[in-house]
Structure 1
Amino acid sequence: MNELNPLDRIRELCEQRKWSYYQLSKASGIPYSTLNTMLNKENMPSLPTLQKLCQGFGISIVEFFEPDRNLQGLTKDQALCLSLFTSLSQEEQQLALAYLKGLSRTL
């Protein structure tokens, strides 16, 4: 069984979204100094901190620990769309959803 390191996963999610730790701190409501210290000193996040981080990323705790779980049963195109969507900022996600909703009404 492959153990997931929460700090590596946080770094991975930031990298996927092209977010700085400052952007993550703003999205999650965790002070930048707290986040920076946690990641640089390899301090594992508490569960409440992890929940705030997941909210900031727009994912569930399950998605945090099992990133491929929601991709099972999806086509390659669907998985790509989901991957691209999750790499967007919250504002960009809202714009993408509005665009898709507009497209679906015109079909």
Structure 2
Amino acid sequence: MKSKLVVRMAELVIDPNQLEAYRAHLAEEIEASVALEEGVLSLNAVSIKDSPHRIRILEVYASKEAYEAHLQTPHFLKYKGETATMVKSITLVDAEPIIMRGKP
């Protein structure tokens, strides 16, 4: 039986005075997660045009177990600790995939 994908969107508001530092931490965390975790299928971060401090992250995991394992990794815990004062709000939205395609 194939595991069900976990797809979620994280909607973040970042302190504009710390945006550059936040983006560096986010890039480091995403790179490590995709490279080191088999269950992390994709992590894509974008900012809202004209509001660069409003960040959206589309997260795709192979399963609930992969998502839960991701939350315990050293690189994710480091990211959470280093950005705790930078993130002014976060909303996590669970999503159901309709169609997801990409090119390598």
TM-score band, normalised by shorter chain: under 0.3
Instruction: Return the structure number with greater relative CO, CA threshold 8 A, min gap 6.
Output: 2
Which structure carries more helix by proportion? Answer: 1
| TM-score normalised to structure 1 length | 0.27
| TM-score normalised to structure 2 length | 0.27
Which structure carries more strand by proportion? Answer: 2
Q: Looking at CA atoms only, which structure, 1 or 2, has the larger radius of gyration?
A: 1
